[in-house]
Structure 1
């Protein structure tokens, strides 16, 4: 199948993050098995969604992983022209949810797979397709945990997030949490008989602001924009009416860490403030909603040299967005980002990828296949 035809099929699956993905997994499994690939469907603990790992070539030798995620963000924006889950052609643009992030890469990888002669490969090519990447890389850790039983230690992983087909060596790590503060409701005229959850949450929010300001003073890494770790509160809700003492307040926050910093550690002072609030009679629930480590690949590494040669583009030192690459690297697998499309088009109405971008990605993977034959 041609990459555009495959992309049309992939976009038609409403594989929105946090929802069952059995239909798209079944289709990709059938397609790859039809090419003679060894395919493993790896259900996650949720029970209604799965990762997928497939191999073309010798399983007893080390090879390369092509990594992408099957999920997409929702498409509820009112500005979509037509059905977001039906690929729409407009000149050289192919519009649809996930066209860039990142079903375009999946389509290119699957199209290239159909041209691989498994018998000629001396190094295997693996396909690692995950679920719920858009929920702070929730699914791929379960896949990575299974790798020792699925393949020999990989030589490297290419994560096909949209990068304009430019290899990317580094990105920040991330840790996110949801904090729920519960107090005691009552009439606002008798604050002495209640416990205001919003007032209580303020102590934690103040610490979050202080931590954010502290991080802006360093340490620094000039390859990133901004060149320091950051922290922000992204959502806040609580209360039902002005004359009712709010008994619950909930907010979410995230930290993004430069290379060399553990993103979870950036939340430690805030966690201490949450624990201290418990002593004042509040019930405080801290839920980590996701985390992934930074990526930092040496510019003179073998993988960076290979993907530079395959793509024909010089590497970019770092990007601000995060990917699953840091998790592969944390597992001891050299990893790099390189995929079709532009991240600026992701998570927007009328998301699109260019036909020539898909073709360039297929050409890169074709070149990888030739490399694995030598």
Structure 2
């Protein structure tokens, strides 16, 4: 099957983050097995979605991982000019949810599988396809934990997030958390008889703003834009009506951290401010939603040199968005980002990838196979 035909099949599966993914997993598994790959389906703890790991070539030798996620963000936003889950071709553009982020990469890799299977590989090529990456890389940690039983420690992992086929060596780490504050409801004419949860949570919001301003003063890592760690309030929900004392308020926070900083630690001052509400009679719940570490691959790393050779382009130092790459690196596997498409097209109506970008990625994968042979 050609890459465009495969992409058409993949886009047709509405594998939205946080939902069951059995159909797309089954199709990819069958396709890979039909070409002789050794495939392992790895169900996640949710019970209705799975990671997929496949090996082409000798399992007992260190090789390379090609990593991508099967989930996509929802397509409920207005502005789509066609069905987001039906691939539409217009000249060189291929429209559909996930075409760029990142079913285009999966399609290019799968299109290269017949060629890889025909090569006398001395080093294996592994495919690691994950779920729920769009919810903060929730699926891939379960697969990484199983890698010791699936393969010899790989020489490197190539994460195919859209990068214009230019390898990227670094990105920030990210964490997300939700704070829920519960007080006591009542009529607004008697504020003395209630506990206003919105008033209470403003102390934490103010601390978040103060911390964000402090982080902007450094430390700095100038390969990033902006060159410092960041913190923000992303959502705020509370209250029923203007004349009712709000008994519940909920806020979600996001932190992004430069290399060497655990993004979860950036929430510490906010948690202190939240815990100070308990003695005042409020119930406080802090829940970490997701977290992944920064990626930082040295400029002289063999994996960076390899991708420079395979793409013919000098690797880029860093980008602002995050990926699963940092999780592979934390597990002791060198990782780098390189995939087709432009991240600027992702998460938008009429998301698209160019047919030429698919072919360039397929050529890179087949070139990797020739190196492994």
Q: Calculate the TM-score normalised by the size of structure 2.
A: 0.99
Partner of 1:127: 127
Distance in 2 (CA, whole Å) between partners of 1:371 and 1:291 is 34
Within 2, Cα distance between the matches of 1:107 and 1:352? 14
SS in 2 for 1:209: helix
Matched residue, 2:3: 3
What CA deviation, in whole Å up to 9, does each residue of 1:267-287 have, x standing for no partner? 111111111111211111111
Question: 1:230 and 1:117 mapped to 2: Cα distance?
Answer: 45
Say whether the 8 Å CA contact 2:36–2:117 is kept in structure 1: no
8 Å contact kept, 2:174–2:263: yes
Shift of 1:82: 1.3
1:323 pairs with 2:326: no
Do the aligned partners of 1:11 and 1:86 also contact (CA within 8 Å) in 2? yes
Query: What SS does the aligned partner of 1:181 have?
Result: strand
Report the equivalent of 2:354. 354
Q: What are the residue-to-residue correspondences of 1:1-374 with 2, within 5 Å? A: 1-117=1-117, 120-373=120-373
Gapped regions of structure 1 (runs ≥ 5): none
Q: Provide the secondary structure at the position in 2 that maps to 1:120.
A: coil
Q: Indicate the RMSD between aligned Cα atoms, in angstroms.
A: 0.7
| 1:74 Cα deviation after fit | 0.4
Contact persistence 1:175–1:290 (CA under 8 A):
yes
| Mapped partners of 2:177, 2:46: distance in 1 | 20
1:119 deviates by: 6.1
- Give the SS at the match of 2:329: helix
Structure 2 unaligned spans of 5+:
none
Q: In the TM superposition, what is the alpha-carbon distance from 1:152 to its structure 2 partner?
A: 0.3
Given that 2:169 and 2:317 are in contact with CA atoms closer than 8 Å, whether structure 1 keeps it comes out as: yes
Pairwise CA distance, 1:117:
3.2
Distance 1:307 1:277 in 2: 51
Q: Is the 8 A contact 1:57 1:118 kept in 2?
A: no
Q: Residue 119 of structure 2 contacts residue 369 of structure 2 at CA under 8 Å; is this kept in 1?
A: no
- Report if the CA contact (8 A) 1:176-1:255 is conserved: yes
CA distance in 2, matches of 1:65, 1:209: 40
Q: Distance in 1 between matches of 2:198 and 2:104?
A: 44
- Could you list the per-position Cα deviations for residues 303-346 of structure 1 after superposition, in whole angstroms to 9, with x for gaps in the alignment? 00001100111111100000000000000000000000000000
Deviation at 1:118, TM superposition (A): 5.5
Deviations 1:18-45 (A, max 9, x none): 0000000000000000010010100000
Query: 1:84-134 CA deviation, whole Å, 9 max, x = no partner?
Result: 000000100000000000000000000011111366100000000000000
Number of residue-to-residue matches in the alignment: 373
Instruction: Write out the 4+ residue segments of structure 1 that deviate beyond 4 Å after TM superposition.
Output: none
Distance (whole Å) between structure 1 residues aligned to residue 78 and residue 200 of structure 2: 37
Contact 2:121 2:369 in 1 (8 A): yes
Tell me if the contact between 1:71 and 1:134 (Cα under 8 Å) persists in the aligned partners. Answer: yes
Cα distance in structure 2, aligned partners of 1:52 and 1:165: 24
**Could you state the TM-score of these two structures normalised by the residue count of structure 1?**
0.99
> Are the counterparts in 1 of residues 35 and 117 from structure 2 also a CA contact under 8 Å?
no
Q: Distance in 2 between the 1:137 and 1:210 partners?
A: 28
User: Cα offset for 1:140?
Assistant: 0.5
> Is the contact between residue 168 and residue 315 of structure 2 (CA under 8 Å) also seen in structure 1?
yes
